[in-house]
């Protein structure tokens, strides 16, 4: 990874550390000084803060004490429970936190060689598609000799406080971390894709079937190294940080530390009817304030659980902020859940391997419609297709597609009053199978998927799509809002994701000599009926072949039918405006395909876009003489090559 890591503000850890050791001094970071400007972006904010090094706060400081645990830290005065909840999740995965804290042993204090300590640390975050290394000094903000922000429950352990400082440096100040979503930090820790679910809107507390689907999905995410956090949104009569009757805190991020199916009572040999409970374990970043309902730490329900199962769960009865509850109660009491999926792209894995494509893009304003790239959501029909457009292919008959759209982190703009996330989302359109240029009009294209629109930093969609070609259109909700984004697409087989930049075929010296296209024709073949039966089975294996000048496109084969549904879309750019379009229907055979008939049509601009029914010539027809074979299609054409 080291060769691809970007250096934040160009600071090189080894170089800076070497300079400090050579000069016999401790590092002081000029890019994030021990002053109020690193604490606050708001000049009105006040506080009496002393910056102290760990050696001034305890006798034997360490980066880590007995490894890392989800109980290592507690939230301080800053409203960043979302960050602390993400840290709780990170602590559960050693392979992942070792990426965030590289070479932790080398960074550790060495009491035997105090001269090797330079007061400098480094951390790595996945920022906007790249791993970025951030260097900080060990000067930490305190009041009365105590850390005022994130701290460990072990007095001489400082990894959480230093990690928080590095993250604050990325954001521009500690105050910029006030308020947020745990999924943001989890993505920055891991490079995972984030998904947000509203439990109330999805009625997961009421519909048991949906509840069980969600449980199985979350358990799979957790087992495969993903992360989950949850919260209760504030509402009228339910203000932020208010405590519910069951001990939960409103507007507060909780980390999910375990998801289990729990057996009740001692299991019997060869018994397959043991009663099971669907359980979830949470942790409050405050390290206190727990759930008071069923299955809370000291509730009567735990008497139903065998000693072996309790030991297996690691049940502890103390006010440490961690507690169990049933999944049903969880769905009824919490309103929002953030899921971070670590999508497996390794070929050396027993689990499903995904093919990943990633693109960098931007929404940018321009007065010229063909150059504007900030057209707003689908509701803005006049400008929607002015957004960036990305083409991809689904090669299998059906494939599951994962899409993550992430906008740039805007926390560093808080000082200018522009730090709020922009509401973003995307549309997926089924387009012509041979499209190579940007869409300009919504005609035969089918709108197959719409992501949630949200002002979170990223939006996610998982959807099964049929074989074919698609255009993905990322948008801001409102037109004319400029910002950068990254788009990640995961499929089972390579999708060849690429941006559509050209509006029409390129004018070249060769095209000037041989002729440049003068007309664009868009065809959608819907279906055919009355085809001749083939063989003893009585069916056929038809496909359609569409030709225009020297261009052609063949559809997938439809099996064992004389009334195929093709839904094949194509687009042709032709030089001769009088050149007809030929549609042939063939039946796929082992040695030689059989011709079933063809139709020709001449389309011209101005003809209405309506479904046509053409007879197939050159065929003996179907079984019923009164039903000649025919094909249904829609055609549209224009002499403006940038219209369709």
Task: With both helix axes pointing from N to C terminus, report the angle between 81-90 and 182-190 in degrees, rounded to the nearest 10.
Answer: 40
Read off φ and ψ for residue 536, nearest 5 degrees. Answer: -75, -25
Question: How far are the Cα atoms of 353, 354, 465 from residue 491, in angstroms, in the given order?
Answer: 9, 6, 10
Helices and strands in the chain: count of H runs, count of E runs: 12, 29
Catalytic one of 74, 181, 230, 252:
252
Alpha-helical runs (H) found in 79-181 = 81-90, 94-100, 104-107, 159-171
Q: How many Å apart are CA 345 and CA 336, to the nearest integer? A: 28
C-beta of residue 34 within 8 angstroms of C-beta of residue 51: yes
Q: 62 an active-site residue? A: no
Which residues contact residue 562 at a Cβ distance below 8 angstroms, ignoring those fewer than 6 apart? 529, 530, 531, 532, 533, 538, 539, 540, 542, 622
Of the residues 81, 331, 377, 548, which is catalytic? 81
Query: Could you tell me which of 468, 230, 472 has the C-alpha nearest to residue 335?
Result: 230
Cα radius of gyration rounded to whole Å, the chain: 31
Residues 6 or more apart whose CB falls under 8 angstroms from that of 443 comprise 522, 609, 636, 644
Task: Say if CB 403 and CB 427 are below 8 A apart.
Answer: no
Is residue 605 within 8 Å of residue 568, measured between CB atoms?
A: no
Provide the 3-class DSSP secondary structure of residue 259. Answer: strand
56 contacts: CB under 8 Å, gap ≥ 6 = none
What are the φ and ψ backbone dihedral angles of 457, each rounded to 5 degrees?
A: -70, -25
Burial profile 571-584: b = 16 or more Cβ within 10 angstroms, e = fewer: bbbbeeeebebebb
Whether 252 sits among the annotated catalytic residues: the reply is yes
Structure tokens at 59: 């006798």
Which residue in 284, 380, 387, 421 is the catalytic one? 284
Q: Which residues are catalytic?
A: 81, 252, 284
């Amino acid at each position: 990874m080291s060769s691809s890591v970007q250096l934040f503000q160009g600071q090189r850890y080894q170089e800076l550390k070497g300079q400090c050791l050579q000069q016999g001094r401790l590092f002081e970071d000029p890019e994030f000084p021990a002053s109020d400007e690193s604490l606050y972006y708001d000049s009105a904010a006040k506080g009496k803060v002393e910056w102290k090094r760990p050696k001034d706060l305890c006798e034997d400081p360490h980066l880590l004490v007995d490894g890392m645990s989800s109980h290592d830290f507690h939230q301080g005065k800053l409203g960043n429970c979302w960050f602390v909840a993400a840290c709780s999740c990170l602590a559960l995965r050693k392979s992942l936190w070792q990426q965030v804290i590289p070479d932790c042993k080398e960074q550790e204090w060495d009491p035997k060689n105090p001269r090797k300590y330079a007061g400098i640390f480094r951390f790595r975050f996945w920022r906007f598609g790249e791993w970025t290394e951030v260097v900080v000094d060990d000067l930490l903000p305190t009041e009365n000799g105590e850390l005022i922000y994130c701290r460990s429950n072990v007095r001489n352990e400082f990894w959480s406080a230093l990690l928080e400082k590095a993250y604050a440096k990325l954001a521009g100040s500690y105050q910029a971390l006030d308020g947020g979503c745990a999924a943001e930090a989890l993505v920055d820790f891991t490079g995972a894709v984030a998904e947000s679910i509203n439990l109330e809107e999805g009625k997961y507390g009421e519909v048991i079937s949906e509840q069980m689907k969600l449980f199985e999905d979350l358990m799979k995410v957790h087992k495969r190294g993903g992360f989950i956090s949850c919260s209760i949104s504030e509402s009228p009569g339910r203000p932020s940080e208010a405590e519910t009757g069951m001990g939960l805190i409103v507007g507060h991020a909780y980390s999910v530390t375990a998801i289990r199916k729990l057996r009740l009572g001692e299991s019997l040999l060869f018994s397959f009817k043991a009663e099971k409970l669907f359980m979830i374990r949470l942790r409050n970043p405050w390290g206190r304030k727990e759930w008071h309902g069923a299955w809370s730490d000291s509730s009567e329900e735990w008497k139903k659980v065998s000693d072996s199962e309790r030991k297996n769960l690691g049940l502890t009865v103390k006010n440490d902020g961690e507690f169990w509850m049933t999944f049903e109660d969880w769905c009824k009491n919490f309103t929002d859940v953030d899921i971070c999926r670590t999508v497996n792209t390794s070929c050396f894995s027993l689990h499903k391997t995904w093919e990943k494509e990633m693109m960098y893009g931007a929404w940018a304003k321009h007065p010229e419609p063909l150059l504007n790239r900030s057209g707003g959501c689908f509701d803005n029909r006049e400008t929607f297709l002015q957004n960036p457009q990305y083409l991809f292919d689904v090669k299998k008959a059906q494939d599951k597609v994962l899409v993550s759209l992430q906008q740039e982190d805007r926390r560093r703009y808080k000082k200018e009053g522009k730090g709020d996330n922009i509401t973003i989302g995307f549309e997926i359109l089924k387009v012509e199978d041979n499209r190579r240029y940007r869409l300009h009009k919504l005609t035969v294209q089918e709108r197959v998927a719409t992501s949630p629109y949200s002002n979170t930093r990223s939006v996610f969609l998982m959807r099964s799509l049929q074989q074919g070609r698609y255009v993905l259109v990322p948008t801001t909700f409102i037109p004319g809002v400029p910002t950068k984004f990254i788009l990640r697409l995961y499929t089972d087989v390579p999708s060849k994701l690429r941006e559509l930049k050209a509006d029409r075929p390129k004018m070249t010296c060769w095209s000037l000599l041989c002729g440049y296209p003068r007309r664009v024709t868009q065809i959608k073949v819907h279906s055919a009926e009355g085809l001749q039966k083939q063989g003893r089975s009585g069916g056929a294996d038809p496909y359609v072949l569409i030709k225009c000048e020297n261009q052609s496109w063949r559809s997938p084969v439809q099996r064992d039918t004389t009334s195929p549904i093709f839904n094949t879309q194509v687009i042709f750019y032709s030089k001769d405006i009088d050149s007809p379009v030929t549609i042939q229907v063939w039946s796929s055979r082992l040695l030689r395909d059989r011709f079933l008939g063809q139709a020709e049509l001449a389309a011209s601009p101005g003809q209405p876009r309506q479904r046509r029914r053409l007879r197939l010539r050159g065929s003996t027809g179907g079984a019923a003489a009164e039903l000649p074979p025919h094909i249904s299609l829609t055609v549209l054409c224009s002499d403006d090559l940038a219209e369709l």
